Amino acid sequence: MLEELQRVVDALARRLGRAVAVDDLDFRLLAYSAHLGEGDEMRARVILNREAPPEAVAWLRRRRLGRASGPVRLPADDELGIVPRVVVPILYQDVRFGYLWLLDAEDSLTDEQLGLASTAAADAGAICFRERIVSQLRTAREGELVRDLLSEDEQVRGVASARLVEGGLFAPRGDVTVVVARPLPADADGVDEDDRIALQAALTMLFSRLGDRGSLRLVRPDHAVLVIPTATLRRSPELPEVLRTTALQRLGKSAKWRDVHVATGSPAGRLDDAVTSYTQALEALRVAEVVPSFAPLVAHEALGIYALLAGRPFDQLGAHGVHPAVRRLLDADRELFTTAELYLDRAGDARATAAELGLHRASVYHRVRRIEDITRLDLSDGQHRLLLHLGIKVSRLLGLA
């Protein structure tokens, strides 16, 4: 698409003898011609950054260009470094795709020249429309194959993996990792169709950043799925945060959402094993929702003992995992419960526990003795320590602590 738009821009620039550019609806630069004489500070900034700066976007929004159906003359703005220009909306079948720009400092564009610009804008609209149709077909095909890739059926996963690679939808580059984003509604309404469209838009923005064949995406009823080469995640560890931020922006209506949690599974050796990484990411989301210290960004590899516990339904953990000793500690003193957890997390290191709690080591030893009295466990015994540690973590998952 970009190559075709560039040809349209270059052809119009040659015919008019002046600079031409094409933006998308968010004023991100898609194509631009050579300088051809006139220019301004704003054009230079847009070309350098590939998008209009925020103050220019605000200036343009105030002119309600979204309502324009033909060429619109915009005045100069010395503060922003803008000379007069003409903007022509890029439309096709009443669908708006962006804007075509012409610098016109001398107000010298004739009606005939504006007609040529309108024709070029229509050509650009047809190109964008065709690209959107192709993209929608690709996304639909990709979505079907990614659903199969995450199937419980091993044979279905194998076929989907082969088709994704053979169809040019994904380039295998070693290990793959699955990243999952789930919005947390503030009420009982849950995630609706508009929200799923917003999640799809967030994935599409990341997809454009990662490049063709650099990722796979899927939106499920209450979460978004991104499959990427593990090497990409190592090079760009900020991707989960970018996905979260973009999802929050696209979802909007901030009062509806408590947050968006993003979880990363462990690397899978092959594409058709991506379901394992996906399952791990879902488990990490479950943990993050009940253990806030892991939220909003959580990696399965960082869960520690929770990674083992989260693989089972929480109700089953409740039936067998909370030892009476843990319940006695919970009922007796929540502060001692927290001390016991931290002490066991630090492998019984009283010095480290004291430093984190802001206590003297003697106070930690005193608390440990009280914990032993209440739980009737000997914390110098490895089996007793394991029993208490697991029980504490299970109680966290069950929301008891």
Over residues 86-135, the pLDDT tens digits come to 999 999 988 889 999 998 888 889 999 999 999 999 999 999 888 877 77
In the three-class reduction of DSSP (H, G, I as helix; E, B as strand; rest coil), residue 19 is classed as coil
| β-pair partners for 72 | 87
Q: Whose structure tokens read 């058709």?
A: 272
* Residue 5, φ and ψ in degrees, nearest 5: -65, -40
Could you tell me which of 359, 355, 379 has the C-alpha nearest to residue 368?
Answer: 379
At residue 77, the pLDDT reads 87
% of the chain surpassing 90 pLDDT: 40
Distance CA 337, CA 335 (A): 5
Displacement of CA 138 from its chain's centroid (Å): 20
Q: What is the mean pLDDT of residues 226-238?
A: 93
Q: What is the mean pLDDT of residues 17-40?
A: 83
Q: Whose structure tokens read 């009062």?
A: 255
Displacement of CA 195 from its chain's centroid (Å): 14
Query: Residue 38 — very low, low, confident or very high, per pLDDT cuts 50/70/90?
Result: low
User: Do the strands 216-220 and 223-229 form a parallel or antiparallel pair, or are they unpaired?
Assistant: antiparallel
Query: Residue 371 — very low, low, confident or very high, per pLDDT cuts 50/70/90?
Result: very high
Output the six-digit token pair for 102: 């012409």
User: Do the strands 72-74 and 85-92 form a parallel or antiparallel pair, or are they unpaired?
Assistant: antiparallel
At residue 264, the pLDDT reads 96
Range of lowest pLDDT (30-44, 146-160, 380-394): 30-44
* Residue 337, φ and ψ in degrees, nearest 5: -60, -45
Q: First vs last Cα of the chain: how many Å apart?
A: 55
Query: Residue 37 — very low, low, confident or very high, per pLDDT cuts 50/70/90?
Result: low
Q: What are the CA-CA distances from residue 309 to residues 239, 262, 314, 321, 379 (Å)?
A: 27, 19, 8, 9, 22
Range of lowest pLDDT (142-146, 170-174, 214-218): 170-174
At residue 291, the pLDDT reads 81
Distance CA 32, CA 129 (A): 19
Judged against a pLDDT cut of 90, whether residue 41 lies above it is answered with no
In the three-class reduction of DSSP (H, G, I as helix; E, B as strand; rest coil), residue 218 is classed as strand
Side by side, which strands form the sheet with 20-24? 29-32, 20-24, 95-103, 85-92, 72-74
Output the six-digit token pair for 347: 């492998």
Output the six-digit token pair for 154: 């091993």
At residue 314, the pLDDT reads 56
Q: Longest C-alpha distance within the chain, in Å?
A: 93
CB 294 within 8 A of CB 288: yes
Average pLDDT of the chain is 87
Better-predicted residue by pLDDT, 390 or 179: 179
Distance CA 335, CA 344 (A): 14
